Structure 1
Amino acid sequence: MPSVTVNSAGRSPAVARGLAWPVTLDLPEDATIGDVKSALAKRCPKFYKERQKISVKDDRKALDDATRLADVSSELAVKDLGPQISWRTVFMIEYVGPLIIHPLIYNLPRIFYGGPVQHSRLQQYVYAMVLLHFLKREIETVFVHRFSHATMPFRNIFKNSAHYHLLSGLLLAYSVYSPPFSAPSPYIRGTVRDDPTWLNAYAAAWLFAELSNLHTHLTLRSLRPEGTTKRAVPYGYGFDLVSCPNYFFEICAWVVITLMTGSYAAWLFLVVGTGQMALWALKKHKAYKKEFGTEYPKGRKAMIPYIF
């Protein structure tokens, strides 16, 4: 039974100061990096696997849990990533913000605007669309998504949630449900923003984008067996043109709301969200091409068909 030496990357992890560094572990011949993490966690339960980042000494790149120790010739180093929180919990916290904020501002205008607001058809449509969007996201988080990484650092929850709670939550709701968008407002009354035909057309476009987004999420789910991090080349609806059609259809849904309202808050959320999703899409696109090589379709773009 071979042994492996694990040192601390930088200062000894505060949560694992009970361990004598470097730590020598006796592991089976076919042991992996995941087994190293499990062995360290067994010696110090507070230093659980998700908190650990293991790399070759003097190299910052994390080793995958499936990497065999036989393929790693150098001494290992472990870094404490800090307290972790599951990605599923992160998503649920992010999306619940707008689900609370929008009803509060919509139904309690006296508190936020100092008086009543006679809601226009536009406000009613946007209210329903925003709530349905984030309710869909919560349902997908619980029943559809399968995560390649189980957790992320707890401290990041505040940064991640701010995007949704502040931009698509507080700022969007305060702008769209305000008196300038109400039924008596000249911005609404007698314009296409109060025309049921116009509103229904945009609602249909929004519904198409939302259902298309759901379809892509179901496709991605089907590629990853439960409890694994397996990756495969996705094909079919949307994926024949771009690597991340889920992001493309999400953008389309928010474009509808932005065009419907013309709100500065909707434009801001759309621009910021599109920029962030573009970065994610490009990263995933490059990862697909690197992992699958010539098997990956050459004609695909990252996020926007034929463009990007």
Structure 2
Amino acid sequence: MFTTILSSLLLISSINPLTSPSCFPPIGKPISKLPETISIGSQESIETLYSTISKQARFPVNRLRITKGSDGSLLKNDAGITVSSTGVRNQSVIYVKDLGPQIGWRTVFIIEYLGPLLIHPLVLYVLRPYLYGGSKPLPPPSDLQALTCALLTLHFIKRELETIFVHRFSVSTMPFTYVFRNSAHYWLLGGVNLAYWVFSPSSPTATSNPNPALLYPGLALFVVGQLSNLSVHITLRNLRKPGSTERVIPTGFGFDWVTCPNYLFEVMAWVGVYLVSGLNWSVLLFLAVGAGTMMKWASQKEQRYRREFGDKYKRKRFVMFPGLW
């Protein structure tokens, strides 16, 4: 089987955007040493296609992005998918582009969580006099503020430890520029914005008499949510062998209720923080944005399970919230 390859430079100059299917956006950059054609067996994997192009172009495989010329769909680097199963045929055209410098997903996660992990104690115990100081003496942090800071710190320490010791990633790298986009959510919304308002002298957490109807249920939700979330992550880790990208239908605690119990328990823990913080609006904002994002991911995962496993996958009645959604 012969597959013709066009660099992004030739693709852009040869296809009329008014007549091309879907008007594919120019993602990535051209590769100077890209071979014009390659020969590969129809039953070879897409992973082999990537490695073959990488060797011939002398270009890092994790920077390659390959799409079909017929419809612009992405050919994902996967050892379990054959070339023929994607619809690529003899003399087909594929487009190969450079995604730019890459960074490991594990490194990205560590960077993301490091921001709020450092910001919260820094604001409460070091920067507080400079942020809120005025003509009047600044009262010391309340016990509730110290407790909220401890919960937030524990949460992100858990995230860091899971990233290092628990998570396995089906994709090893991502474009380096994505680090800034991904980190903004945690460093700015979950770090700077949340810390500024939670540790303010005017915050609901500044009280010396927290509402027990919020405090104790909030602590319970936080502990149960964190431990349950960890349990689900360990289950997901054990489904995949080291070095493998094979997907397996998850079962066990939480998976009988929803498709993505890890997201369910993550939201549960943050509802706990919201209650402990005395219903601070900045915690609610971070929770709402995070929950919305996780709902999108959960829906995509449900669809992927049905697509990949077919009749073997029994569709869950609920994706993320039992009885609701």
Deviation string 1:160-204 (CA, Å, 9 cap, x unpaired) is 111110111001111111112488x5xx23442xx5x96355323
Q: 1:241-252 maps to which residues of 2 (within 5 A)? A: 241-252=257-268
- Distance change (3 Å), C-alpha of 1:14 and 1:266: closer
Task: Specify the alignment match of 1:307 in structure 2.
Answer: 324
| Equivalent in 86, 93, 100 of residue 75 of structure 1 | 93
For residues 28 and 299 of structure 1, the distance between their equivalents in structure 2, rounded to whole angstroms, comes to: 38
Task: Specify the alignment match of 2:312 in structure 1.
Answer: 295
For residues 169 and 274 of structure 2, the distance between their equivalents in structure 1, rounded to whole angstroms, comes to: 30
One-letter amino acid of the counterpart of residue 307, structure 2: K
| Equivalent in 231, 237, 241 of residue 225 of structure 1 | 241
- Distance change (3 Å), C-alpha of 1:254 and 1:178: same
SS at the partner of 1:179?
A: coil
Confirm whether residue 98 of structure 1 aligns to residue 116 of structure 2: yes
Unaligned stretches of 5+ residues in structure 2: 14-27
Confirm whether residue 173 of structure 1 aligns to residue 173 of structure 2: no
One-letter amino acid of the counterpart of residue 83, structure 2: L
For residues 311 and 204 of structure 2, the distance between their equivalents in structure 1, rounded to whole angstroms, comes to: 55
For residues 167 and 239 of structure 1, the distance between their equivalents in structure 2, rounded to whole angstroms, comes to: 30
Deviation of the 1:210 alpha carbon: 0.1
Structure 1 stretch displaced more, 118-127 or 213-222: 118-127
Q: 1:194-213 maps to which residues of 2 (within 5 A)? A: 199-213=215-229
For residues 288 and 30 of structure 1, the distance between their equivalents in structure 2, rounded to whole angstroms, comes to: 24
Deviation of the 1:61 alpha carbon: 1.2
One-letter amino acid of the counterpart of residue 302, structure 1: V
For residues 151 and 39 of structure 1, the distance between their equivalents in structure 2, rounded to whole angstroms, comes to: 19
For residues 179 and 12 of structure 2, the distance between their equivalents in structure 1, rounded to whole angstroms, comes to: 25
Percent identity between the two aligned chains: 43
Structure 1 stretch displaced more, 8-17 or 124-133: 8-17
| Equivalent in 44, 47, 57 of residue 34 of structure 1 | 47
| Equivalent in 120, 123, 145 of residue 145 of structure 2 | 123
Task: Specify the alignment match of 1:164 in structure 2.
Answer: 186
One-letter amino acid of the counterpart of residue 73, structure 2: K
For residues 247 and 146 of structure 2, the distance between their equivalents in structure 1, rounded to whole angstroms, comes to: 41
For residues 140 and 117 of structure 1, the distance between their equivalents in structure 2, rounded to whole angstroms, comes to: 37
SS at the partner of 2:96?
A: strand
| Equivalent in 145, 154, 157 of residue 167 of structure 2 | 145
| Equivalent in 286, 296, 310 of residue 279 of structure 1 | 296
| Equivalent in 280, 287, 298 of residue 263 of structure 1 | 280
Query: Does the CA contact (< 8 Å) of 2:143 and 2:208 recur in 1?
Result: no
Query: Does the CA contact (< 8 Å) of 1:120 and 1:181 recur in 2?
Result: no
Structure 1 stretch displaced more, 273-282 or 79-88: 79-88
SS at the partner of 1:180?
A: coil
| Equivalent in 86, 102, 107 of residue 84 of structure 1 | 102
Confirm whether residue 16 of structure 1 aligns to residue 41 of structure 2: no
Q: 1:182-193 maps to which residues of 2 (within 5 A)? A: 188-192=207-211
For residues 130 and 39 of structure 1, the distance between their equivalents in structure 2, rounded to whole angstroms, comes to: 46
Task: Specify the alignment match of 2:76 in structure 1.
Answer: 64
Query: Does the CA contact (< 8 Å) of 2:204 and 2:280 recur in 1?
Result: no
One-letter amino acid of the counterpart of residue 122, structure 2: L
Task: Specify the alignment match of 2:6 in structure 1.
Answer: 7
For residues 286 and 295 of structure 1, the distance between their equivalents in structure 2, rounded to whole angstroms, comes to: 13
Query: Does the CA contact (< 8 Å) of 2:203 and 2:280 recur in 1?
Result: no
Deviation of the 1:150 alpha carbon: 1.5
TM-score by length of 2: 0.84
Deviation string 1:62-83 (CA, Å, 9 cap, x unpaired) is 1233333345202222122222
- Distance change (3 Å), C-alpha of 1:182 and 1:274: closer
Query: Does the CA contact (< 8 Å) of 1:117 and 1:178 recur in 2?
Result: no
Query: Does the CA contact (< 8 Å) of 1:33 and 1:54 recur in 2?
Result: no
Query: Does the CA contact (< 8 Å) of 2:217 and 2:275 recur in 1?
Result: no
For residues 40 and 172 of structure 1, the distance between their equivalents in structure 2, rounded to whole angstroms, comes to: 46
For residues 3 and 191 of structure 1, the distance between their equivalents in structure 2, rounded to whole angstroms, comes to: 71
Query: Does the CA contact (< 8 Å) of 1:101 and 1:173 recur in 2?
Result: yes
Task: Specify the alignment match of 1:25 in structure 2.
Answer: 38
One-letter amino acid of the counterpart of residue 57, structure 1: G
TM-score by length of 1: 0.88
Unaligned stretches of 5+ residues in structure 1: none
For residues 198 and 39 of structure 1, the distance between their equivalents in structure 2, rounded to whole angstroms, comes to: 59
